[in-house]
Each structure stands twice: as structure tokens, then as C-alpha cells.
Structure 1
Amino acid sequence: MSSQKLGFYSSNDIIFSLIPHESKVFIHPSLLTPLGIRLLYSTSYLECEVFRVEGIKDDKSYIRRITGVAQYRNKLLSELRAYAPCADLVSKINILLLGPVGSGKSSFFNSVKSVFRGHVTRQAAVGSDVTSITELYRMYSIQDGKDGKSLPFMLCDTMGLDEKEGVGLCMDDIPHILEGCVPDRYHFRPKQPITSRHPTFITSPSLKDRIHCVAYVLDINCIDSLSSEMVAKFKQVQKIVLNCGVPQVALLTKVKNYHGVLQEDFLNMNNTMTSQSQIMKIQAMLKIPISNILMVENYAPEWEQDPLKDVLILSALRQMLRAADDYLDDLPPGITVEVAGMSQLNMCD
């Protein structure tokens, strides 16, 4: 009896064990962060109570799938921590978030920061579905941990788009943002776009100042109810972005049934989490390849991390960086950073 222990396995690896006669518990390192445990994976305990939990899936592979999500999350984290922009033309990738008020632009930044910080954060103020809280242009950097290095990408947050003219982000500001002429913390004015006469206007931006990928952020639950005016606004924005040659992705937020991924192959996200008709509607509206239509559930009211949410957030970020790499890789061979910046400025004229 004294040699007995209670153990749970995933494949051939033990992921959790309880050793009563030694008053010790062992937890696999891959489960520490998802469970919110910050102690060593092997530790002693004073008291122990064992409960029978009803409702756990009786599928024999359930534990394996949970462990697989945690392991895949860690793999994505390692990959993004080691990421470097291709071609050595820039040190950081600038990703612009564009979308209606309340679509989840600021929440996506908060979510990305939360994953790398190790706990849920609320740096960017989140807007309502009526008016935009975001009035400043913000270029957010992401640190790996509280005192870690700054990662090689920036998330650029903007005022929300509005279907009405003279409300929300001004269309005339978008080319200047894409070109890299708008400084961090610039205060948006819906009826008065920035001009070269503004005291902080960047008159000679280089490639490092420009936007390298645009993400159109949309609430997946509102796709079917987008007004014709908002669809027209998106197409107007997209024409500007295409004219500047910047790659585009669509980011669908507020995917409530993301936990269903655990019941299937968690890598097969598109078919599991949402109907194909919604994806096809976005594809038809924005003419974006299905592989660049990404889905997440941001951290909003929660205070604890979820490994599956992290997988979706990190997967979306990785695809944005890959799109930016394709953009940089497609620049003419031997082009310099300064010449690349001026060349792209001419494209937007």
C-alpha cells in the first residue's frame, strides 16, 4: 500500500501523479501555466482531498488532447519568441488593426500581451459598440515577460471605423498610417485628417516606419448583420490598402464555441469553430484567401489564461507575421530600407 501512487498518463508520459505516503504531487511542466501554478512541478502537500468529478469526457483521448493543446501552445510561444523578420530589412513588423467600434482591436492587443506576459493584462482601453474609446494612434510593443526583451513586432491600434461619414477613423488618415507618416499617440480627428503641416508628421518615413500587414478585425457574430454602408466602408479601406501593396488578413473575434476544438483535432480550427458560410461571406466580401481568415476569442472579462485561447491568438499572430514576411520577401532584390520606403510611398500616391 505504501508504494502505491495515483497517476495519469498522456501517451507514455505521466502528466500528473499523487504519492500519498510521501505527501507529494507531480505535475507535468506543460500544464503549470495553463493551470495557473507557479510552483515547481514536484512539491509536497499538507492535506489532500480527492473528489469524483462528473461530466468529464469519457473519451480515452481527452487528457491527451488537453495536454496536446498545452504542448502546442508552448511550441507556438517558442516559435514566435525566436521569430525574426525576413530579408533583414526591418527589425520589427508593424501590424495595423482596422475594424468597426467594438470589434475587438484593442482587446486583441491586450490578449497578445497577456499570452507573453503570463497573465491577463488590460493595457489598452476597450471600446463599446456605440462609440470608440480609442482616439489615439498607438503602436504597441510586446515584451516577453514583465522584464523580458521586446519582441520583433508591433500592434498598431486605431480609432474604430464607422458607417457614417465624418464619424470614426477618417479615410484620409489611412494612407498616411500605411506610409508610416503618423506618429505614435497621434490624436485622431474624424473630420480633420493629418497633413504634412502637423508638427509631428513624419515627412520622410522609411520601410521600418511603414505598415507591413493589415488585419481587418470583425466580430464573427455580427458578420451577417453588417450594413451595406459598413461593407462599402470596408471596400473603400481595402482599395486604399491594396493600392499601397500591403498584405491583408481578416481576424474574426468573439468565437464563443472555441472549446469545441478539444473534441476534434485542435489544429483543424476553421471547420470546427464556425460555419463555413460565415468564412465564405468574409472571403467574398474582402477577397482574402481563406488561409488568411483567422479566428480568436480575446481575453475580455476573464482574469485567468486559457491554453486553447492562447493557441488561437498565437496562431493568428503567426499568420500575420508570415503575411508580412511575404511582403518583405517580394520587394525587389538589393533594395535598401530607405529606397523601399520611398518606393512604397510612390505606390500610395
Structure 2
Amino acid sequence: MSFLQLSGVSKFYGDTCAVADMNLSVEKGEFVSLLGPSGCGKTTTLQMIAGFEPVTRGRIELDARDITQAKANTRGLGIVFQSYALFPHMTVEANVSFGLEMRKMAKAERLDRVRHALSLVHLDQHARRYPRELSGGQRQRVALARALVIEPPVLLLDEPLSNLDAKLREEMQFELRQIQRKVGTTTVMVTHDQSEAMSVSDRVVVMEAGRATQIDHPFQVYEHPRTRFISTFVGKANLLEGRIEGEDDMQAVRVGSLSVPMFEPGFRPGSAVLLAVRPEKLQLVPAGAGRLDGQVIERFFLGSQWLYRLSTPVGELTVLCANDGRIVLEEGAQSAIDWPDSCTRVLPVDQGALA
């Protein structure tokens, strides 16, 4: 059995379903992220694991122990809130020590644990400071140290990096992952930031409208999205309307005058589908030398990349090209677009498309 197990967990507020039939198995030492837009149920799921919200239906088990009805203060979980929730009148050392004091731990062991926790987050030299004297990144580390010092079986992170600026958030992503790997604490994080979830997680749970729509490794979620929503929420995608033609292993997707081979089985012949291809998988080639000819409508300089929008016979397509010294196309320029067959994904428009 998995270390943390959610079985058919649902949460209703009156007639409104916030989380529907969540089934999730988290292995010991694993880092799992709940990813989705606001209102998708990810924070509610975390709060049910923490014990802050009662479960309407289903079961939550921790290390084979049923904790579904257990009070939050008896679960022993470590929690880092979005606001960090540090005590402003306490020093860094006192903030980190607070949970151990509540557990009546002996002073000598308590001090040893606090020193170790502060060393882990590189704040040894800041033990006597107050939260107001720290940067945002340092306050985030204090909150993390306070959660880890009690040696919880599971660490819960509620959008812990959302209050940081973009550069610091990126730095803290990797630091958070390094700390988690060093300590080995089973971790569940809530985030709406796709890059954050992809960079630090062993697995990602993509949520939409209260349901887990895909639970998979980050690479699989990005390269093999199961729905239209996932293909556009996790990264960007060009979506082309098409129809399945052919039978069994000889199927292709017809998009306008294009016939694109497909590699996903299980679609009904003649059914409407979407052909998804990531902008960075597309290549700009000389006019007449690709699958589609087009004209550059707009271009945007992104530093390491150029983003182009092209008008084509099958609609507008977005192309991302590396800023690698090649010729930059002007708006209005003619070009062609090509891509490897293996880079396309076929998504059902509705369940009727699936065989």
C-alpha cells in the first residue's frame, strides 16, 4: 500500500462539488504536485489531507492508518502556508522551535534540531533576527524549516513560492527540491504555476473542475496530454480541428488538405478530433518546403526565443524559434511550417471520438 492514499475522496459545499472522487497514491519520499487553475479543488484537497476540511465522502490513509476523521493536530503533518504565517514577535529560532515546544521536547534536543533545520535552509547566521528583518525568500525558508523540524511524515505546501518575484521563485524551486531530496520527506504541493510543478515534482496531478484529469510524470503530462484543457494549461499548444480517417493501424488525421499520421489508437473512424502540436516543435522553413505555407502576422522577441504568429490555410499557428543567430523573419514575410509526425498528439473533442 502507498504511504499516503486518497480513495474516492469528495468534498461538497451544499450542492456544490469542490472535489469529486479523488484517487491518489503517494509513495514514501515522493514529491507530488496538485496543479490547476483557481477553483479547481487543489487547495481543498490539500486541506482535507491536513484535516482542516472534513471529507464528505471517501477515505484518507497515512502509512496504512485511517486518518479521514482524525483532527488536524493529531496527524503530525508539516504545513507551509502561502503567507508563511510566521510569528512577527518571535525570532527565526523561536519560530522554528515553536512546534517542538508544543510537543514538550527537551531543551537540548530542541536546540539541536533547530540548529540542524536552520542549517538545512542556510539560515544559521539569521537565528536571532525577526521576520521583518528578512527578505521574502528568507521568510519562506524559515517557514520551511519550521515545518521540517518536527520531522513530519508528510510535508504539505500551499503555493509556498507565489509571493516571491520571478527570479527568486525560480531559484527557490530548485532549492526546495534539493532540500526535499536531502531530507526525503513525502511532499504534496499545491500550485497553479506549471513550470514550478514540472521542475520539482516526481509526479503531477492536473486538476480541472474538482477532478484529477491526469496523474503522471511531468514529461508525460507535457508530451502526452490527455485532454484539450491539459494541452493548453500545461504549456502552449496549437490545436487544429480534424477528423479521423482510415481504420485500425492505418489511421490518420485529416486537417484541411493535410493528412497527418497518428500514433494514438482507440479512435472511431470519422470522428472529430483535435490535432495538438507544441509551438516549439514547429519549424520555419522556406516557403513551399514544408507542410503548410503561411505569412507572418506578428512576432515577439522573448530574449532566448522568437515567437511568431502565422496565418495558414488551416488557421493561425504559433511558432517558437530559438534566438540562435538565424535569420529573423519580418512581419508580412512568407514562410512554411513543418514538424515531425511524432510531435503531434490527437485529442478527443468528446467521448464519442473514442472507440
TM range (shorter): under 0.3
Q: Which has the higher strand share?
A: 2
Higher relative contact order, chain-length normalized (CA < 8 Å, sep 6+): 1
Normalising by structure 1, we get a TM-score of 0.26
Structure index of larger Rg:
2
Output the TM-score relative to the length of structure 2: 0.26
